């Protein structure tokens, strides 16, 4: 049983914990036919994936799309590198910022747009230090306790 493609929303929860997200972009992604079918079934993971530049093109590495169950000998490789599709000005801006200030580009979420195309939301990010991560956890715990206190009354 497959999920409706509009409900597919694969997130990289680790990215928001490890990085401070500065600016977000939506990009297209070059996929094979069996990869799209696997993503429609929700069989993809963005954990430990990142983006990098090669000759002015943005590539995604580490995204895992499981092989399609009904695929034959022409099934895709699960962890191959995939090209991201952005406008030229956006690519130049991202490349300039990653080279100048030591920022990185991380994928945040994989989804289908209203036209049925697979899109990936990427963000220009700065790595958090250990104390920043602890602070994030403290804020989450405090928020949970406040919610529990509100539910009691």
> Per the domain annotation, does 137 fall within a domain?
no
pLDDT at 127 over 90: no
pLDDT at 138 over 80: yes
Residue 116: what pLDDT? 87
> Per the domain annotation, does 152 fall within a domain?
no
Between the CA atoms of 14, 124, 137 and 10, what dihedral angle is there, to the nearest 10 degrees?
-30
CB 20: neighbour CB atoms within 10 A?
Answer: 14
Question: Rounded CA gap, 43 and 36, in Å?
Answer: 10
CB 152: neighbour CB atoms within 10 A?
Answer: 5
User: Any idea which of 20-24, 92-96, 100-104, 130-134 has the lowest mean pLDDT?
Assistant: 130-134
- Which residues pair with residue 65 across a beta bridge? 44
Mean pLDDT in residue range 121-148: 86
Q: What share of the chain is helix, strand, coil (3-state, %, to 5)?
A: 35, 35, 30
Question: Rounded CA gap, 25 and 95, in Å?
Answer: 13
> Parallel, antiparallel, or unpaired for β 50-54 and 57-61?
antiparallel
> Per the domain annotation, does 99 fall within a domain?
yes
User: pLDDT tens digits for 2-58?
Assistant: 555 557 788 888 888 888 899 999 999 998 888 888 888 888 889 989 899 999 999
| SS3 of residue 102 by DSSP | coil
Claim: this prediction has a pTM higher than 0.95: no
Q: Tell me the CATH number at 15.
A: 2.40.280.10
User: pLDDT tens digits for 97-113?
Assistant: 998 887 999 999 999 99
> Per the domain annotation, does 138 fall within a domain?
no
Q: How many structural domains does the chain have?
A: 1
> Per the domain annotation, does 89 fall within a domain?
yes
> Per the domain annotation, does 103 fall within a domain?
yes
Q: Residue 29's closest CA among 125, 107, 124, 126?
A: 107
131 or 23, greater pLDDT: 23
> Per the domain annotation, does 30 fall within a domain?
yes
Q: Give the residue numbers spanning the domain of 21.
A: 7-128
pLDDT band for 1, please (50, 70, 90 cuts).
very low
Mean pLDDT in residue range 83-98: 93
> Per the domain annotation, does 65 fall within a domain?
yes
């Amino acid at each position: 049983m497959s999920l409706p493609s509009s409900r597919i929303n694969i997130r990289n929860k680790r990215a928001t914990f490890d990085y401070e997200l500065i600016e977000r972009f939506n990009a297209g992604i070059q996929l094979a036919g069996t990869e799209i079918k696997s993503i429609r079934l929700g069989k993809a993971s963005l954990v430990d994936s990142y983006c990098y530049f090669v000759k002015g093109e943005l590539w995604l590495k580490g995204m895992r799309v499981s092989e399609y169950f009904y695929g034959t000998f022409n099934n895709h490789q699960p962890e191959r590198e995939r090209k991201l599709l952005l406008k030229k000005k956006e690519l130049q801006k991202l490349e300039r910022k990653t080279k100048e200030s030591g920022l990185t580009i991380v994928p945040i979420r994989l989804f289908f747009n209203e036209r049925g195309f697979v899109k990936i939301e990427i963000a220009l990010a700065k790595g958090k230090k250990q104390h920043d991560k602890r602070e994030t956890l403290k804020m989450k715990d405090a928020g949970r306790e406040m919610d529990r206190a509100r539910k009691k009354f």
